[in-house]
Chain A
């Protein structure tokens, strides 16, 4: 009898309690801090589900980048003095909403408890993709993302581009082409600058490492890219770096490089390997690393640009 089941139950209660806190907290900032803690705790639950790749993604995106996004949004709302949000629903509506939410949660719990056995699985196909001709990828998740479901992954990168375009397009007309507002208006104090100077280079190194080992171990293009993005944002928050102008050609090339390279290789597969997104045998692994390198670049640039928000005419040079 190990202590693990008790830890599992403790972790489960903690995750639900922190989630309840993010809903119940009185002010927005407390709620966002709760959400960051919640993302990190949820990553531990993912580890317990034998999903270290998702745990890395959840910790980097759910905890880190989303936290910065919401804190920045809250600060910008404060600066606009736009804090009035109207009255919430009355007590009666709250009780009905609570009852209905509990009903949905209960139904979902019932479904989870009565999932069919044996469970359906696509693991054999994923194993075939991982061991496919010339691929030899040790990490089945990377094999699924880049080979078995390559088209999904390519479209996901295009979703990132569309989101960046959507965010840029809500800026004022005359601000088009200028840089987004800085993540912090005020110059930060020494501690933040010191943290960024020490953390960012180490974090960037770890990001590149996570991308590099992703073919065989937990990690990959997205997790590595998200970590690089987080480090860039740390440097932006310390005002060591400023967000680039959205009209910058280098920025735009970096944004489209991931999907563009992926699509080009996919189309070349039509000619060289006989089908769309097929990799020529014996040459798959270097090709996959080549695609992933550009995807890391795109992700590392797209996430901070999404957090930085639309172009802001005030910071026009």
Chain B
């Protein structure tokens, strides 16, 4: 198996794992982490496209590689913004639940 096919399969597995984590974890920071796994899986698949596009004397196609670098930067910026929003949610609501029912339910419990 050549390295680029292998890396492509790893990318596919990462997307699957990240997607599962995004759905299954209730904690928003865990969701964010899982979403970053999906992102890096997509980048890896695109990296395989770059490797296969080797031409003009290069071992890779520089255009997709440059786009992946841009993508990693933008993904980080989005993650940082998400972290700020999650922390703001925690300050405003006292917890980090994304479930609109949860805070109401707990308020009832504390009133008893």
A positions within 8 Å CB-CB of B: 5, 8-9, 12, 15-16, 19-20, 22-23, 28, 31-32, 35, 38, 42, 45-46, 48-51, 53-54, 57-58, 61-62, 65-66, 69-70, 73-74, 76-77, 80, 82-89, 93-94, 97-98, 100-102, 104-106, 108-109, 112-113, 115, 117, 119-127, 130, 140-141, 143-145, 148-149, 152-153, 156, 159-160, 162-163, 166-167, 170, 222, 299, 303, 306-307, 309-310
Q: How far is the CB of B75 from chain A (nearest CB, A)?
A: 8
Q: How far is the CB of A45 from chain B (nearest CB, A)?
A: 6
- Would B73 and A160 count as touching, CB distance under 8 A? yes
Q: Which residue of B lies closest to A87 (CB)?
A: B26
- Would A35 and B12 count as touching, CB distance under 8 A? no
Question: What would be 28 A-B contacts, judged by CB atoms less than 8 Å apart?
Answer: A8-B3, A12-B9, A15-B14, A16-B10, A19-B14, A28-B29, A46-B47, A50-B54, A54-B47, A54-B65, A70-B32, A82-B94, A84-B96, A85-B28, A86-B95, A87-B26, A88-B25, A89-B26, A109-B8, A109-B9, A112-B48, A124-B56, A126-B56, A141-B62, A148-B66, A152-B67, A170-B88, A309-B87
Chain A residues whose C-beta falls within 8 Å of the C-beta of B30 in the assembled complex: 28, 31
- Would B40 and A122 count as touching, CB distance under 8 A? no
- Would A19 and B84 count as touching, CB distance under 8 A? no
Chain B residues with a Cβ closer than 8 Å to the other chain, count: 88
- Would B72 and A112 count as touching, CB distance under 8 A? no
Chain B residues whose C-beta falls within 8 Å of the C-beta of A167 in the assembled complex: 80-81, 84
- Would B61 and A122 count as touching, CB distance under 8 A? yes
- Would A16 and B20 count as touching, CB distance under 8 A? no
- Taken together as a complex, chains A and B put the C-alpha atoms of A45 and B47 apart, in Å, by 10
The dominant DSSP class at the B interface is helix
Q: How far is the CB of A179 from chain B (nearest CB, A)?
A: 15
Take A35-B33, A49-B51, A89-B24 as given contacts and tell me if A309 and B83 are in contact as well, using a CB distance cutoff of 8 Å: yes
Chain B residues whose C-beta falls within 8 Å of the C-beta of A123 in the assembled complex: 53-56, 58, 60-63
Q: Which residue of B lies closest to A13 (CB)?
A: B10
Q: Which residue of B lies closest to A126 (CB)?
A: B62
- Would B97 and A84 count as touching, CB distance under 8 A? yes
Q: Which residue of A lies closest to B37 (CB)?
A: A19
- Would B36 and A141 count as touching, CB distance under 8 A? no
Q: Which residue of A lies closest to B100 (CB)?
A: A86
Q: How far is the CB of A190 from chain B (nearest CB, A)?
A: 30
Take A8-B6, A74-B29 as given contacts and tell me if A23 and B90 are in contact as well, using a CB distance cutoff of 8 Å: no
- Would B4 and A121 count as touching, CB distance under 8 A? no
